[in-house]
Chain A
């Protein structure tokens, strides 16, 4: 299944990615099912959805942390899912990750120089002196004062500063792909804006390709060229950022957008179109379309048949039997 026919300049290809976690008694958590997305070089793909939708599992599977149960991840022509041991370690220089909790993802007993230099050391790059020089440059690049920061430990920094340190560590090997998993979710808005601006600048300067995962639709819109919406482990809709926010066609995307509280008291009140109930369990996903139990447009067809991904306008992909606009020719 190739949802994006005719794409030749794909840099990161995620094909039919499936992540399952085994439970007792032979049951499985279906965290990600058949997820396909292709990302161009220098592009940012945003991945949104609510908790449990599989966005973090998908990101980790791209990082091979852990490997996906099935499916393929190809970076610049190299199949990452087939790599082992030393070859995988070598390849990892090209894809790095930033995590949600800025303080927990830094070793509290190491100083900042050693934390940021660790990837260089593991990759065996440079002498200690050269590495220190590189760390200093990188810290300045993410907006920290290298002289003051180098010898200090994570607890001496604020959350925003720790996230800058994580970014420095992720970028010191000059990766091509940066995966950000809820990278600004723990930060206050004023600091979040600083870090988002920094990521945008670095992306431009270093020509990074990014996979940006967040539950916050507004944040995702700010950094993404295209956006993928996930529900219960599956891709619902994928389109360029402008289109998906202006003209969502999957009922779930519409619901998500309507639920975002706008910081404007004069914004029109929006009805949230959702059948009352709970998110189904990923252990026992519903038959057919996973969203049908909450979808106001659900029909018998949705119950019986899982909707295939299809392109309704150029580059706008949706998995829905009853999308919100008539199909354009």
Chain B
């Protein structure tokens, strides 16, 4: 086993809303080793982005996290740190790349200044060397003419180039953990491939750990070591990537996979849609949250929320997992 960088234990994140408490992340636990990439997939509202912000401790004021939730990064429990201490960690130990590079970059600062800011704050670098390092970083992320681009502003760059800049900022202080939250969702498909290649290369070269959050099963299939599927705020299945796709146990994962249109399908194939919609997280159903939409659900599914368990690395939260029909 490699060195464990991140250990998330029973993370719960709720938001106080006018209608009541909304349990966006509802008891998520996992660990992540150096050099590995964990893919987190789910549909909107499944809690994947709130999970990433819970790890970064970037939650809004109306969020509630109980005291038994722990996020341990390099042996430090982030839930016990002050905001000042957290700021010292964001950058050198953990960093995040967001979906929309136009809103995550500052429109009135040159991209060079935005990279230098990080280097000067965290690494105590002086202006001159920081600028040199900024150019070097821009070159590393594949920005053409980095010595010219360093003085340009975000609006002068294309979406793909802006995302490269956001990645340069994220890796500037060589973090141990990089979170990429839908990093290519706003980008065209050819640019997406380039950015995903870049992220993968950075993780390998710098020996980081990465959490890649996406709604796209195609993105996780080729880019992750392990995949966690989220539904209604929980991880409902987690396995090494090949195992997850080839030996799917949780009916939700299977349903999600077969509802995706594929370029290899014949034209006009009827898609296996999942009927209904995800549950209301303020008043979740009794038992398994997927049971109301599940083709295989029985009365036993409504009794209690199934825990995430299973033999070895393949875990699933289901009382009637697929592939056990014969034994049952």
Residues of A that sit less than 8 Å from B by CB: 50-51, 158, 160, 188-194, 196-197, 200, 215-219, 221-225, 241-242, 245, 255-267, 269, 272, 274, 276-279
Rounded to whole Å, the gap between the CB of A254 and the closest CB of chain B is: 11
Name the 6 nearest CB pairs between A and B, nearest first: A261-B218, A193-B273, A193-B271, A190-B274, A263-B217, A50-B188
With known contacts A190-B255, A190-B259, A196-B261, A222–B268 Cβ distance under 8 A: yes
Contacts of A272 in B (CB 8 A): 190, 193-194
Q: Bound state CA distance, A219 and B267, in angstroms?
A: 9
Contacts of B256 in A (CB 8 A): 189-190
Decide if B267 touches A189 in the complex (CB within 8 Å). Answer: no
B185-201 contacts to A, CB under 8 A, are 188-190, 192-194, 196
Q: Bound state CA distance, A234 and B320, in angstroms?
A: 52
Decide if A191 touches B277 in the complex (CB within 8 Å). Answer: yes
Decide if B144 touches A276 in the complex (CB within 8 Å). Answer: yes
Q: Which residue of B lies closest to A277 (CB)?
A: B144
Q: Bound state CA distance, A218 and B161, in angstroms?
A: 26
Contacts of B272 in A (CB 8 A): 193
Decide if A267 touches B221 in the complex (CB within 8 Å). Answer: yes
Decide if A188 touches B215 in the complex (CB within 8 Å). Answer: yes
Q: Bound state CA distance, A216 and B277, in angstroms?
A: 22
With known contacts A256-B189, A263-B245, A274-B190, A224–B267 Cβ distance under 8 A: yes
Binary CB contact string for chain B from 262 to 281 against chain A (1 if under 8 A, 0 otherwise): 11111111111111010000
Q: Bound state CA distance, A225 and B266, in angstroms?
A: 11
Decide if A189 touches B259 in the complex (CB within 8 Å). Answer: yes
Residues of B that sit less than 8 Å from A by CB: 43-44, 142, 144, 158, 160-161, 188-190, 192-194, 196, 215-219, 221-223, 241-242, 245-246, 255-257, 259-275, 277
Rounded to whole Å, the gap between the CB of A78 and the closest CB of chain B is: 29
Contacts of B255 in A (CB 8 A): 190
Q: Which residue of B lies closest to A263 (CB)?
A: B217
Q: Bound state CA distance, A35 and B140, in angstroms?
A: 40
Q: Bound state CA distance, A135 and B322, in angstroms?
A: 42
Q: Which residue of B lies closest to A245 (CB)?
A: B263
With known contacts A189-B256, A241-B267, A260-B263, A194–B222 Cβ distance under 8 A: no
Decide if B267 touches A50 in the complex (CB within 8 Å). Answer: no
Decide if B263 touches A217 in the complex (CB within 8 Å). Answer: yes
Rounded to whole Å, the gap between the CB of B310 and the closest CB of chain A is: 19
Interface contacts beyond A188-B44, A261-B196: sample of 13 additional A-B pairs, CB < 8 Å, sorted by A: A158-B277, A188-B215, A189-B217, A191-B273, A192-B259, A194-B273, A197-B270, A217-B263, A218-B260, A218-B265, A222-B267, A262-B262, A277-B144
Q: Bound state CA distance, A215 and B190, in angstroms?
A: 11
Rounded to whole Å, the gap between the CB of A287 and the closest CB of chain B is: 21
- Specify which of B241, B269, B274 is in contact with A265 (CB 8 Å cutoff): B241
Decide if A222 touches B269 in the complex (CB within 8 Å). Answer: yes
Supply 29 A–B pairs (Cβ within 8 Å), ascending by A: A50-B189, A50-B190, A160-B277, A189-B217, A189-B259, A190-B256, A190-B273, A193-B260, A196-B271, A218-B260, A218-B262, A221-B267, A222-B265, A223-B267, A224-B267, A255-B190, A256-B190, A259-B192, A259-B193, A261-B221, A261-B222, A262-B218, A262-B222, A262-B262, A265-B242, A266-B242, A269-B222, A276-B142, A276-B144
- Specify which of A188, A219, A277, A279 is in contact with B43 (CB 8 Å cutoff): A188
